[in-house]
Amino acid sequence: MERADQYRRKFIQGILGAAAAHQLTLPAFAQSGPRIRMEWQQFKKTTQYKSFVNAIAAMRKNTNASSPGSLQYWANVHLYYCPHGSPYFVSWHRGYLYYFEQQLRIASGDPTLNLPYWDYYSYSTMPAEFTDSSSGNPLYVPRTGSNVYNALTMWPFASDVYNFQRGTTNSFEVRIETAPHNPVHDLIGGIMSTMQSPLDPIFYLHHGNIDRLTHAWALPDGKGIPDSANPYSPTNSDPYWAGNNTYASNLTMARYLTLIPIWLGYDYANDNVPTALPPMAVTAQATGFTLPAGLRLPSPQRPQLKPFDRTPGRTVSATRRSLGGVTRLAFNETSFSTKLSFSKTDASELDMLVIRRRAGKPREDQRTAASAKLVIDVPALTDAGRFGGYFYALYVNMPPVLDSHAAHDRSFLGTLGAFQIASASHHGPARLEFDLAELLVKQDLADLSEISLSCVRVDGDSPPRGQVIGVREVRIELSYEAEPVPAPRLMGRPGFYG
Per DSSP, the residues of 199-226 read: GSTHHHHHHHHHHHHHHHHHTTT-TBSP
The pLDDT of 250-262, averaged and rounded, is 92
Identify the pLDDT of residue 313: 95
The pLDDT of 123-134, averaged and rounded, is 96
- DSSP conformation class of 449: S
Identify the pLDDT of residue 8: 35
Of 358-362, 403-407, 477-481, 494-498, least confident by mean pLDDT is 494-498
Is the pLDDT at 146 greater than 50? The verdict is yes
Nearest Cα neighbor of 400 from 256, 497, 291, 304 is 304
Task: Please give the share of the chain, as a percent, with pLDDT higher than 70.
Answer: 87
Q: What is the Cα 277 distance to its own chain's centre?
A: 18
Q: Is residue 214 a contact partner of residue 245, using CB atoms and an 8 Å limit?
A: no
Backbone angle region of 444, left / alpha / beta, with phi > 0 → left and psi within -120 to 50 → alpha: left
Of 24-28, 177-181, 226-230, 235-239, least confident by mean pLDDT is 24-28
CATH architecture of 289-479: Sandwich (2.60)
Could you confirm whether domain 4-268 is CATH 2.30.42.10? no
Q: Is-same-fold flag (4-268; 289-479)?
A: no
Of 227-236, 264-273, 398-407, least confident by mean pLDDT is 227-236
Identify the pLDDT of residue 12: 32
As a residue count, the chain comes to 498
Is the pLDDT at 91 greater than 80? The verdict is yes
Identify the pLDDT of residue 229: 52
Is the pLDDT at 405 greater than 90? The verdict is no
Query: Counting beta carbons within 10 angstroms of the beta carbon of residue 405, is it exposed (0 to 12), middle (13 to 18) or buried (19 or more)?
Result: middle
Identify the pLDDT of residue 13: 35
- Domain definitions of the chain by residue range: 4-268, 289-479
Q: Is residue 296 a contact partner of residue 458, using CB atoms and an 8 Å limit?
A: yes
Is the pLDDT at 322 greater than 90? The verdict is yes
Which pLDDT band holds residue 228 (cuts at 50, 70, 90)? low
Identify the pLDDT of residue 237: 67
Identify the pLDDT of residue 291: 82
Q: What are phi and psi of 337, to 5 degrees?
A: -125, 155
Residue 187 parent element (H or E)? helix 182-188
Angle at 354 between CA 353 and CA 356, to 5 degrees: 65
Is the pLDDT at 161 greater than 80? The verdict is yes
Q: Higher model confidence: residue 25 or residue 66?
A: 66
Is the pLDDT at 14 greater than 70? The verdict is no
CA distance 357 to 426: 33
CA distance 141 to 143: 6
Q: What is the Cα 12 distance to its own chain's centre?
A: 30
Strand pairing class (320-331; 314-317): antiparallel
Q: Higher model confidence: residue 489 or residue 162?
A: 162
The pLDDT of 323-342, averaged and rounded, is 97
Is the pLDDT at 492 greater than 80? The verdict is no
Is the pLDDT at 3 greater than 60? The verdict is no
